């Protein structure tokens, strides 16, 4: 076995963000860049010698090359076995499921999720722990610390492995198994949902359309919706492409335009959904109807006992801080706990492991449960289909009925992408400096009830995460939240989250942007967004 030790020097920018290390492909293509980070992962793992690691990615440009490098480095670092997805493909939730099913030590997932791909696009890498979940902050901090002192990495000199055949081979002493990344995931889904009733629903002329956006869910969606559930032709853009067909694999109303055109056109199907680059996000649409992710979490929670995998009820729910409080009202009624965590799925891991929460969600089109430790796009689609089959009503009717029962949380997120980093930081600093004196302050009809920079104490391990976003809450229950993205790769992205609560059912039909206009104007006044970002309009409104 020929292990080469290669001398290297640190890169200062290898600090993982909200979800792993994300950079442009060209950054990753610099000599030693990928290798330094991978070696830092292995160096920060204790007792990983001889263990099993799961490996795969969303199929974006540079996926295959990176996989070959990582496998050779794993072999040189004493890993016992690698389970790699066929063609290098593995969705994020499937990787989480496979880590758990095979009792692997951990996993390495190659994805920049919803960021564009291709030679000019982005690439990313994240490490998942034994539970199947994203590495918690103490692990990502250790990886970063190693990356800042690294002086060499180890790699096996060997030929490439054929990723396109299901085989078991060796790289040095390490076993390499190329596995089917779809089957174990599809079986898990069959164990949670009532496939028979969904199949019947589809047979009864219920039409659905699932947009995989030329990203990782294509093979999963074809297997589950077309093959197992009989919805032939339901999958749109189902071929994973290295550049996602030039698109932006972000399932929202702006980027999932193919689906939006179909669902808001004449003779629209009954149900539509889209997923992102790595398959952990979902957007749910009815015929001419958009379900906000925050409402989706609330509806799934309220209807969970209709689904076999959750028929005994939920231990609790959790949502990220900027996610609307719609689910809080359901938890209240069900008399179960509701946790508020910082943005990013890694903060749900402890709550799921400790069985404090069963369902979790984020406003950014992420929903999931304790079946894995990642958010799960197709799981959410199946959950909705199961509810639709059980209730026999339309998506719109179910959501409107939900509002009638719980009131409606009008909710929107405005993103200002690629703004100047320094100015965005200044905007946040200025807001931060005003927080101490804001409580009780009156802005037009709004009185500030609290203003803080969100800090989270994990109820399981006691770890504290500070500076997680600025919240300004008003006495009428409405809120505005500001934070800077931790996944962007160009300049800064400012996110403004706006929410108001309307209990009166006669006022549930307003256009969201109109209903929220007074608060959006107020956010502008308080944060001077236009002045700082030098933009008149947000880049994306969801
Ligand atoms: C965004 C979302 C966050 C999500 C994260 C990773 O982070 O807001 O809710 O967990 O992306 O999702 P940020 O820091 O840019 O706001 V994914 O599907 O990109 O792995
Ligand atoms: Co994603």
Residue to mutate (ligand 1; options 19, 113, 454; most atoms within 8 A of CB) = 19
Ligand 1 within 6 A of CB of 487: yes
Ligand nearest to the CA of 361: 1
Strands 208-211 and 106-110: unpaired
pLDDT in tens, 61-112: 999 999 999 999 999 999 999 999 999 999 999 999 999 999 999 999 999 9
What is the per-residue pLDDT for 444? Answer: 87
Strands 81-89 and 52-57: parallel
Element (H, E) at 36: helix 33-44
**What CA–CA distance (Å, rounded) separates 95 from 85?**
9
Q: What angle do CA 157, 161, 165 make, to 5 degrees?
A: 170
Q: Residue 113 Cα, ligand 2 centroid: separation in angstroms?
A: 4
What is the per-residue pLDDT for 247? Answer: 87
What is the per-residue pLDDT for 85? Answer: 97
Ligand 1 within 6 A of CB of 91: no
Identify whether the C-beta of residue 69 lies closer than 8 Å to the C-beta of residue 187.
no
Q: Residue 228 Cα, ligand 1 centroid: separation in angstroms?
A: 31
Pick the CATH number of 408-541 from 3.60.120.10, 3.90.45.10, 3.40.30.10, 3.30.310.50: 3.30.310.50
Catalytic (active site) residue 457: no
**Closest among 1, 9, 121 to 58, alpha carbons compared:** 121
pLDDT tens digits, the chain, 542 residues: what are they? 799 999 999 999 999 998 899 999 999 999 999 999 999 999 999 889 999 999 999 999 999 999 999 999 999 999 999 999 999 999 999 999 999 999 999 999 999 999 999 999 999 999 999 999 999 989 999 999 999 999 999 999 999 999 999 999 999 999 999 999 999 999 999 999 999 999 999 999 999 999 999 999 999 999 999 999 999 999 999 999 999 999 889 999 989 999 999 999 999 999 999 999 999 999 999 999 999 999 999 999 999 999 999 999 999 999 999 999 999 999 999 999 999 999 999 999 999 999 999 999 999 999 999 999 999 999 999 999 999 999 999 999 999 999 999 999 999 999 999 999 999 999 999 999 999 999 999 998 899 999 999 999 999 999 999 999 999 999 999 999 999 998 878 899 999 999 999 999 999 999 999 999 999 999 999 999 999 999 999 999 99
Q: Which atom of ligand 1 is nearest to the CA of 344?
A: 10
Ligand 1 within 6 A of CB of 280: yes
Record the pTM. Answer: 0.94
Length of the chain: 542
**What CA–CA distance (Å, rounded) separates 400 from 384?**
15
Q: Beta-carbon neighbour count of residue 492 at 10 Å?
A: 20
Q: Residue 159 Cα, ligand 2 centroid: separation in angstroms?
A: 31
**Closest among 408, 416, 454, 415 to 292, alpha carbons compared:** 408
**What CA–CA distance (Å, rounded) separates 357 from 86?**
33
Rounded to 5, what percent of the chain is helix, strand, coil?
A: 35, 25, 40
pLDDT in tens, 389-426: 999 999 999 999 999 999 999 999 999 999 999 999 99
Compute the Cα dihedral for 93, 98, 104, 107 and give only its sign. Answer: negative
Coil vs helix vs strand at 7: strand
Q: How far is CA 54 from CA 20, 95, 101, 129, in A?
A: 16, 7, 11, 10
Question: Taking the C-alpha atoms of 140, 142, 147 and 150 in order, what is their torsion angle to the nearest 10 degrees?
Answer: -160
Identify whether the C-beta of residue 338 lies closer than 8 Å to the C-beta of residue 225.
no
What is the per-residue pLDDT for 488? Answer: 78
Ligand nearest to the CA of 213: 2
Residue to mutate (ligand 1; options 217, 344, 380, 417; most atoms within 8 A of CB) = 344
Question: Which conformational region is residue 245 in: left (phi greater than 0), alpha (psi within -120 to 50 degrees), or beta?
Answer: left
Identify whether the C-beta of residue 366 lies closer than 8 Å to the C-beta of residue 266.
no
Identify whether the C-beta of residue 210 lies closer than 8 Å to the C-beta of residue 284.
no
**What CA–CA distance (Å, rounded) separates 498 from 415?**
11
**What CA–CA distance (Å, rounded) separates 124 from 23?**
6
Question: What are the residues whose beta carbons fall under 8 Å from the beta carbon of 309, sequence distance 6 or more?
Answer: 191, 192, 193, 369, 371
Identify whether the C-beta of residue 464 lies closer than 8 Å to the C-beta of residue 386.
no
CATH number of 185-406: 3.40.120.10
Q: Beta-carbon neighbour count of residue 263 at 10 Å?
A: 26
**SS3 string of 296-320?**
HHHHHHHHHHHCHHHCCCCCEEEEE
Write down the catalytic residue from 19, 91, 113, 212.
Answer: 113
Ligand 1 within 6 A of CB of 184: no
Q: Would you kindly state where each structural domain of the chain is located, as residue ranges?
A: 3-181, 185-406, 408-541
Asked if the domains at 3-181 and 185-406 fall in one CATH topology, the answer is yes
**What CA–CA distance (Å, rounded) separates 352 from 461?**
13
E-strand ranges in 446-510 read 446-453, 456-457, 464-465, 470-474, 479-484, 492-502
Q: How far is CA 69 from CA 46, 110, 303, 406, 408, in A?
A: 21, 12, 45, 52, 50
Burial 152-169 (b: 16+ CB within 10 A, else e): ebbbbebeebebeeeeee
What is the per-residue pLDDT for 487? Answer: 83
**What CA–CA distance (Å, rounded) separates 412 from 521?**
13
Which residue minimizes the CA distance to atom 13 of ligand 1?
Answer: 485
**SS3 string of 75-92?**
HHCCCCEEEEEEEEECCH
Residue to mutate (ligand 1; options 16, 17, 18; most atoms within 8 A of CB) = 18
Ligand 1 within 6 A of CB of 217: no
What is the per-residue pLDDT for 490? Answer: 84
Q: Residue 234 Cα, ligand 2 centroid: separation in angstroms?
A: 22
Pick the CATH number of 3-181 from 2.30.30.90, 3.20.20.10, 3.40.120.10, 3.30.360.10: 3.40.120.10
């Amino acid at each position: 076995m020929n292990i080469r030790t290669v001398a290297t020097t640190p890169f200062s920018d290898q600090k993982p963000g909200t979800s792993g290390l994300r950079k442009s492909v060209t950054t990753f293509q610099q000599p030693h860049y990928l290798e330094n980070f991978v070696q830092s992962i292995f160096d920060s793992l204790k007792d990983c010698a001889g263990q099993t690691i799961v490996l795969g990615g969303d199929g974006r440009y540079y996926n295959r090359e990176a996989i070959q490098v990582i496998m050779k480095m794993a072999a040189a670092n004493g890993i016992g076995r690698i389970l790699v997805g066929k063609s290098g493909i593995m969705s994020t939730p499937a990787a989480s499921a496979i880590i758990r099913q095979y009792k692997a030590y951990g996993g390495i997932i190659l994805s920049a999720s919803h960021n564009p791909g291709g030679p000019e696009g982005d690439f990313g890498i994240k490490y998942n722990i034994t539970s199947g979940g994203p590495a918690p902050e103490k692990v990502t901090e250790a990886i970063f610390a190693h990356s800042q002192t690294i002086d060499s990495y180890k790699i096996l000199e060997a030929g490439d492995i054929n990723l396109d055949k299901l085989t078991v081979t060796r790289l040095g002493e390490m076993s390499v198994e190329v596995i089917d990344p779809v089957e174990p995931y599809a079986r898990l889904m069959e164990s949670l949902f009532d496939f028979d009733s969904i199949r019947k629903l589809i047979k009864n002329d219920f039409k659905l359309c699932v947009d995989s956006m030329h990203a990782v869910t294509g093979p999963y969606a074809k297997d589950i919706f077309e093959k197992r559930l009989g919805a032939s032709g339901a999958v749109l853009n189902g071929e994973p492409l290295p550049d996602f067909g030039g698109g932006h694999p972000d399932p929202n109303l702006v980027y999932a335009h193919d689906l939006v055109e179909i669902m808001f056109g004449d003779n629209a199907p009954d149900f539509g959904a889209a997923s992102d680059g790595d398959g952990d996000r979902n957007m749910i649409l009815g015929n001419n109807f958009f379900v906000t992710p925050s409402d989706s979490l609330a509806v799934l929670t309220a209807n969970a006992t209709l689904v076999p995998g959750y028929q005994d009820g939920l231990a609790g729910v959790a949502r990220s801080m900027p996610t609307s409080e719609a689910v809080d009202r359901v938890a209240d009624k069900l008399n179960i706990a509701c946790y508020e965590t910082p943005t990013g799925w890694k903060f749900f891991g402890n709550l799921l492991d400790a069985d404090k929460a069963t369902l979790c969600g984020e406003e950014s089109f992420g929903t999931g449960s304790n079946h894995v430790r990642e958010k799960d796009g197709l799981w959410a689609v199946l959950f909705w289909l199961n509810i639709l089959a059980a209730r026999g009503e339309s998506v719109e009717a179910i959501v409107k009925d939900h509002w009638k029962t719980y009131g409606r949380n009008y909710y929107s997120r405005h993103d200002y992408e690629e703004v100047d980093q320094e100015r965005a930081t200044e905007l946040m600093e200025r807001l931060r400096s005003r927080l101490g004196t804001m409580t009780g302050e009156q802005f037009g009809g709004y009185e500030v009830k609290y203003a803080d920079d969100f800090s989270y104490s994990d109820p399981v391990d006691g770890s504290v995460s500070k500076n997680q976003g600025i919240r300004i809450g008003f006495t009428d229950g409405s809120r505005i939240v500001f934070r800077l993205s931790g996944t962007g790769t160009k300049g800064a992205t400012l996110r403004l989250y706006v929410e108001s609560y309307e209990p009166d059912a006669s006022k549930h039909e307003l256009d969201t942007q109109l209903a929220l206009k007074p608060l959006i104007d107020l956010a502008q006044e308080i944060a001077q967004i236009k002045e700082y970002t030098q933009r008149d309009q947000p880049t994306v409104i969801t």
